[in-house]
Chains A and B, each alone.
Chain A
Amino acid sequence: MTTVEEQGTSLWRDAWIKLCKNYLALFGLAIILLLCLVSLLTPWIAPYGYEEQNLMLGATSPSAAHWLGTDIFGRDMLTRIMYGGRVSLTVGFIATAVALVIGVLWGAIAGFVGGRVDAVMMRIVDIMYALPFMIFIVLLMVVFGRNILLLFLAIGAVEWLTMARIVRGQVMNLRKQEFVEAAYSLGLSQWTIIHRHIIPNTLGPVIVYTTLTIPSVMLLEAFLSFLGLGIQPPQSSWGLLINYGVETMEEYPWLLIFPGITLSLTLFALNFLGDGLRDALDPRTSKDQ
């Protein structure tokens, strides 16, 4: 048991040391932390109220009073983006976390146990794939009512499928490898093997896919909100701001550009961080460096 523990801790410590050498990943991490911090503090630091309208002012381009301009209701865009971030980041992280937990467990069990269990579990995934996910989410919302927490869960519940497939493929590959067979011969339980050996070895693709899931989840939320199933005005999210911005991009380009930049920045930061984490956490390189 002591050997196993040593391996585990050294993996994480190694990873951190390697991550610190990757400036791009650190930059990504810094941006994400900054965005989270700003979102957390928004109610205290936002320059205006997020629902405060000034209809006579209308849409104005960026100025000293409104750094990022105002929307057609005369609402401050900076404030809207800050409040939008609270919704978008929460949806992004919670829904992705739900997808991650279900997908990794499902894929790992299917791939590890194999045989008939695998066949049944993967057919279930296939069936879920074939279901139009929009209808699935709409049904969930109709049955359980409109509730923002449910929105997170509903999105998470449809986003785990690809994750499950990726993890299953990795696991099927891994379970035939010598170190896993060695673990068997040492008499470790299946569960210990899954979470000590299999899961850490699948982290690379999982992390990359996770960083891709977060932005797609944010856009999915915008789409649902647009249909009246997600959050409702005057609340907003980055995806919704972009949706509205697109409609008036010729007249008021700043309504599209600033939320667009914010979302892109988040996406880049997540990708840099994801790449860095993948390199850092890859157990196959950890012993050599």
Chain B
Amino acid sequence: MEGLLLKDSTTLAPKPGLAESWTVSEDGRVYTFNLRKNARWSNGDPHNANDYVWSWWRALQPALGNLYAYMYFSIENAQEYYEGTVTDFDQVGVKALDDYTLQVTLSNPTPYFLQLLDHYSLYPVHRGTVEKFGTADERGTRWTYEGNNVGNGAFQLVDWKINRRITLERNPYYWNSDQVQLNKIIFYPTENVVSEERMFRAGQLHRTGSIPADKIPVYLEANDSSLHIAPYLGTYFYRINTRVPHLQDKTVRRALAMTIDRETISKSILKAGQIPAYAMTPPGTMGYYPESDLRFDPEAARKLLADAGYPNGEGFPTTEILYNTSEGHRKIAVAIQQMWKKYLNIDIKLLNQEWKVYLDSESAGNYQISRAGWIGDYVDPNSFLDMFLCNGGNNRTGWCNSEYDRLISDVAPTVKSHAERMTVFGQAEQILMDELPVIPIYIYTSVNLVNKSVKNYADNILNQPAFTEMSLQPEQSNIDGAQY
């Protein structure tokens, strides 16, 4: 699938995708996209501006339960329509001026709007296919299955064996199909990074989505060029359930945050140059550097915990860290468990759950402290900060601060200059880091193994490989697989 725009594989700057050009009005609110006339769906159907209007209308149907509906909320009246205060879709700022011209009106100038267009939540879907297998706002119908699915991207789903493999083949109707080098991509899902690395070494994979931390020094020492370590726009953090009585007090949360030795975790456990995180937003996101007075200081933390009524950890209830089953999460949890025991003298239990069970527990608020990670959907501090609005679907901490909400929802979208906007984010982030409903731990780096026969492979901070640009040199290898 492909959106209106693509991103440059290295710089992530927006570049023409299914729209060959676009213009922006002077006030930055009205975008006009000129669609490619040679674009086709993978069944050969013509692809036009009405596909977008219909798809976006569908995405905003409350009955569909779109988890990413908020990605649309910068569009005029989109939020109002989703929440039911506006009932006429014509008032939402999306219009097809003709078959090949799409006009989008925003409520406020949104600097990251063009980036959103390459997010999968704003991709168009094939109306005929969706309606053939159910109504537009019906969840989980069979239109996504192999053989049924009709897409508009460079590759087309041909085979999907759950938990075994997903096979994509080149889509001959793709507008830029001549430039696509790969004929077929196979994705092998796995939870086990150790066996993934072994498969790579055995030549069964061209690319891995990760590598066991203990293998990184081996590859570095061998100076193996198949190891790709690159900055990654994501933060690893712990959510604290602020509805739990003994975690309601922010001094307790601060004491916990101050006794995590992030430098040591990064150096001794993660081993891929991860940056210790003292704020939620990765530093340098659109020139934004969060300020935070959070630091590693066990002495001061002990005092804070005593102030909160638990001198030397006495009387502090046994607290549970929840994580989804994974070797990496376990290691970090074991290290932090021991740090809190050593510096604060409090008892921590670890609880691991299978991914879906873990998500349920977290959404239901059925946890005390839980591990989490957030990868930016687009390159802007907003992608990290709007998560913690009172009603944010991914907040899950029970934390709610009206001043924070005001800064993120009302002030930041309306200020005029980039610098001002960043200052507002800075203020909001300071509130977040003062109250600490989340404890940031480190900023990710992406670590992938890429076979040397893969050419034109580019690393970028969203760790999204551009499959349309890669090629293989067949004389070195006769397999064609890639893996997440």
Contacts and interface: CB of A to CB of B under 8 A. Distances in A.
A233 B338 CA distance: 10
B183 interface: no
A72 B337 contact: no
Given A73-B334, A228-B325, A56 B215 contact: no
Nearest to A226: B325
A252 B214 contact: yes
Interface in B191-215: 194, 212, 214-215
Interface in B294-341: 325, 327, 330-331, 333-335, 337-338, 341
Contact of A234 (B214, B334, B352): B334
A227 interface: yes
B162 interface: no
A247 B334 contact: no
Nearest to A58: B268
A239 to B, nearest CB: 15
B337 A233 contact: yes
A162 interface: no
Nearest to B334: A233
B338 A73 contact: yes
Interface in A65-101: 72-74
A252 B194 CA distance: 14
B104 interface: no
A51 interface: yes
A55 B353 CA distance: 26
Interface string A237-257: 000000000011011100000
A232 B215 CA distance: 25
Contact of A56 (B268, B351, B353): B268
Nearest to A252: B214
B319 to A, nearest CB: 13
B337 A228 contact: no
Contacts of A227: 325, 352, 354
A286 interface: no
A61 interface: no
Main secondary structure of the interface of B (DSSP, over half): helix
Given A56-B268, A73-B338, A228 B331 contact: no
A60 to B, nearest CB: 12
B333 A233 contact: yes
A228 B352 contact: yes
A86 to B, nearest CB: 19
Contacts of A248: 212, 214
A251 B197 CA distance: 13
A56 B349 CA distance: 23
B350 A233 contact: yes
A53 interface: yes
A55 B214 contact: no
Contact of A232 (B218, B325, B350, B354): B350
Contacts of A53: 335, 338, 342
A284 B327 CA distance: 53
B214 A233 contact: no
A236 B350 CA distance: 13
Contacts of B337: 233-234
Given A227-B325, A228-B351, A72 B269 contact: yes
B71 interface: no
A58 B214 CA distance: 11
A53 B332 CA distance: 12
A50 to B, nearest CB: 11
Interface in B159-212: 194, 212
B407 interface: no
A233 B337 CA distance: 9
B351 A247 contact: no
B264 interface: yes
Nearest to A248: B214
Contact of B351 (A72, A73, A232): A232
Contacts of A234: 334, 337-338
A260 to B, nearest CB: 17
A27 to B, nearest CB: 37
B265 interface: yes
B325 A51 contact: no
Nearest to B352: A228
B353 A228 contact: yes
Contact of B327 (A51, A55, A228, A247): A247
Interface string A184-226: 0000000000000000000000000000000000000000000
Given A51-B341, A73-B338, A234-B334, A247 B264 contact: no
A159 B194 CA distance: 31
Contacts of A247: 194, 212, 214, 327
A55 B264 contact: yes
Given A247-B327, A248-B214, A252-B214, A55 B352 contact: no
Contacts of B341: 51
B178 to A, nearest CB: 44
Given A56-B264, A233-B334, A234-B338, 20 more contacts: A51-B338, A53-B338, A53-B342, A55-B261, A55-B264, A55-B268, A58-B268, A72-B214, A72-B268, A72-B331, A73-B334, A228-B353, A232-B350, A233-B330, A233-B333, A233-B337, A247-B327, A250-B218, A251-B214, A252-B214
23 contacts: A52-B338, A53-B338, A53-B342, A55-B264, A55-B269, A56-B268, A59-B214, A72-B214, A72-B269, A73-B338, A227-B352, A228-B351, A228-B352, A228-B353, A232-B350, A233-B334, A233-B337, A234-B334, A247-B212, A247-B214, A248-B212, A250-B215, A251-B217
Interface of A: 51-53, 55-56, 58-59, 72-74, 227-228, 232-234, 247-248, 250-252
Return the 4 tightest CB-CB contacts between A and B, nearest first. A228-B352, A55-B268, A53-B338, A55-B264
